[in-house]
Homo-oligomer: A and B are copies of this chain.
Amino acid sequence: MTFNETVRKTIRARNSLVCVGLDTVPSRIPESIRSGPDPVFEFNKRIIDATQDLVAAYKPNLAFYEALGTEGWDILRRTVSAIPDGILKIGDAKRGDIGSTAEQYAKALWNIGFDAVTLNPYLGRDAVDPFIRNTEKGAIILCLTSNAGSQDFQKRFLDGMPLYLHVARAIAEWNGNDNCGLVAGATHGEELWAIREITPDLPFLIPGIGAQGGDLESAVLSGTDKAGEMALINSSRGILYASSGAGFAEAARNAAEILRNEINVVRKTKG
């Protein structure tokens, strides 16, 4: 099964577009766990156990694990292993390097156990190629990011069209193995429609709701495909840190459930 088929199957089977960003910061882990021997993994495991029936994907961002020092990669590897089968494991790595180096990144990231990774398009096709050879594995490529800096280059016009739409076109071209997706931030409601028009069937990974201020309804309407599928709506801080007390896992579960239900209400008006 190709990665993009797996995305559709997973979303249907779980009836959820929720992606939980496992961007764990030690200082924000509740005291009861923070004082234990393996706090980041233990926290992640509790979050996964509490939310796993509500989500389509988990997405650790590698920066948060690299910031833990030499133990970080082992904590990341164990975290990914703790995600149950049938849920997408996305490595938010935003890597981009020349072909022979990209091969090394692909080796590193697939060895951790990810189903897909995020990539940066600035280096072009050969930086993506090593990640899309295996049709079962996915490359989710930055198109239009959720931050203020997306104005600096992504929204600049090039031959009458903003750069991010050129990137969307390229990603559609690179999708010969049916395993490319794209990142499009929820902070750009109108622009999401334009990207969806160019890539009607590709999976979108949509960050930027919650702490970053993106509008959920608009993101679901514009980011999903015609069937109200093929989008993963990411929430990190809103779920992980829903409560800083001992009941954090239940609070995370509640937040994930509310998010899933809010999304599904909007999807019904569409699909």
Binding site for B on A (CB under 8 A): 23, 25, 61, 63-64, 66-70, 72-74, 77, 94-99, 101-102, 104-105, 107-109, 111, 120-128, 142, 145-154, 156-159, 163, 166-167, 170, 212
Contact = CB atoms under 8 A, between A and B. Distances in A.
A19 to B, nearest CB: 15
A104 B153 contact: no
B166 A147 contact: no
A189 to B, nearest CB: 18
Nearest to A118: B97
A69 B152 CA distance: 35
Contact of A101 (B61, B73, B148, B166): B61
Contact of A108 (B67, B101, B156): B67
A153 B174 CA distance: 14
B126 A153 contact: no
Contacts of A123: 142, 145, 147, 149-150
